[in-house]
Amino acid sequence: MRSLRSRLFRLVVKYWMSPKFNAHTTIQEQRRALEGFAGLSILPAGTRVQPVKIGTLSAEWISVGDNPEQRAVLYVHGGAYNIGSLNTHRDIAARIAKASKMKTLSIDYRLAPEHDHPAAVEDVVSAYRWLLENGYSPRNIVIAGDSAGGGLAVAALVSLRDAGEQLPAAAVCMSPWTDLEGTGESITSLAHKDPFLTSDWLGVMAKNYVADDDPRSPLISPIYADLHGLPPILIQVGADEILLSDSTRLEKRGRQAGVDVTLDIWANMWHVWHLFAGQMPEAKRAINEVGKFIREHVSQSNAVDHNREARDV
């Protein structure tokens, strides 16, 4: 049963947030609006934030409580490739740190339209390699992201695999945007139910990011990527969002490629409802499930390596 708070925040999203993100509002206005919403969030008690530079890329370590030093969640924020920042998604990154009992490294990747594809993918890959260079084992890293960040997480995995690099223990995609061509069935079938996203708005955001590239490029729209060899992936998506098909098709592609994919479709939820984890029980439960998935797969990855080392002795 839906909580009373979820009913309330659905109205907030539909009548207060959604009108500020449309095809006719400038990118700068949308960025300011999202920053304004972020100012209403309250970080979990005990959150610590440490700014860091990864080359020219701004990033920050976020920890809550005691987190193992050499375990990390690389967090990639959403915002349709055009908006969003360390500030706008600090709360969700902190809550994932708390739920997973691991530090998060949140990155301020380059945004469109100033920087189109492949800038964002390159920045995520650079951040992962920076973790490896600083002593983090792949088995102790998970890549997670919401919306565009979820698509970038998968694109980064494909790019790293193709480069012959060791992949992280797992990945988490929350309401991922994986088809920038907008061909999913839910784009039209759920348009009347989605309180937040519109196809017109997504079309403008996609055009800014794709520019002169092919929207079906695997690193732009991962539903067209060869997913063989990728680590376990958790996908969480709302049943009422127009990007539902992006998640169901990603799961299908993953399973066809032999990837361990878990798809959780949340009834009555909208795009990245996780952002309300401080106020809404459904969002808190979703984040807790993300944390559980991360802990289990990092532990399993370490156990597999330990058993392999024991056999080699």
Q: What is the mean pLDDT of residues 117-146?
A: 98
Query: pLDDT tens digits for 193-243?
Result: 999 999 999 999 999 999 999 999 999 999 999 999 999 999 999 999 999
Q: pLDDT value at position 307?
A: 46
pLDDT category at 306 given cuts 50, 70, 90 is very low
* Total of domains in the chain: 1
Q: Is the pLDDT score of 308 beyond 50? A: no
pLDDT category at 299 given cuts 50, 70, 90 is confident
Q: pLDDT value at position 313?
A: 45
Q: What is the mean pLDDT of residues 37-43?
A: 90
Q: Is the pLDDT score of 159 beyond 90? A: yes
CATH number, residue 269: 3.40.50.1820
User: What does pLDDT average to over the chain?
Assistant: 95
Of the candidates 77, 89, 117, 271, the residue annotated as catalytic is 271
Burial-class residue 174 by CB neighbours within 10 Å (0-12, 13-18, 19+).
buried
Of the candidates 41, 100, 106, 147, the residue annotated as catalytic is 147
Pairing of strands 57-64, 47-54: antiparallel
Q: pLDDT value at position 230?
A: 98
Q: pLDDT value at position 301?
A: 72
Cα gap 143→96, rounded to integer Å = 12
Q: What is the mean pLDDT of residues 286-308?
A: 82
Does 271 qualify as catalytic in the annotation?
Answer: yes
Give the pair of three-digit tokens for residue 163: 């480069």
Cα gap 101→108, rounded to integer Å = 22
* Strand partners of residue 171: 143, 233
| Residue 12 host element (H or E) | helix 4-12
Q: Which phi and psi (to 5°) does residue 271 adopt?
A: -65, 120
Q: pLDDT value at position 311?
A: 46
Q: Lowest-pLDDT range, 4-8, 93-97, 186-190, 297-301?
A: 297-301
Q: Name the DSSP letter for residue 79.
A: S
Of the candidates 60, 175, 241, 274, the residue annotated as catalytic is 241
pLDDT category at 304 given cuts 50, 70, 90 is low
Does 241 qualify as catalytic in the annotation?
Answer: yes
Which among 27, 184, 212, 233 is positioned nearest to 118, based on CA atoms? 212
Cβ within 8 Å of residue 248, ≥6 positions away? 237, 263, 265
Question: Which residue range forms the structural domain that includes residue 266?
Answer: 4-312
Please, are residues 14 and 196 in contact by the beta-carbon 8 Å criterion? yes
Does 147 qualify as catalytic in the annotation?
Answer: yes
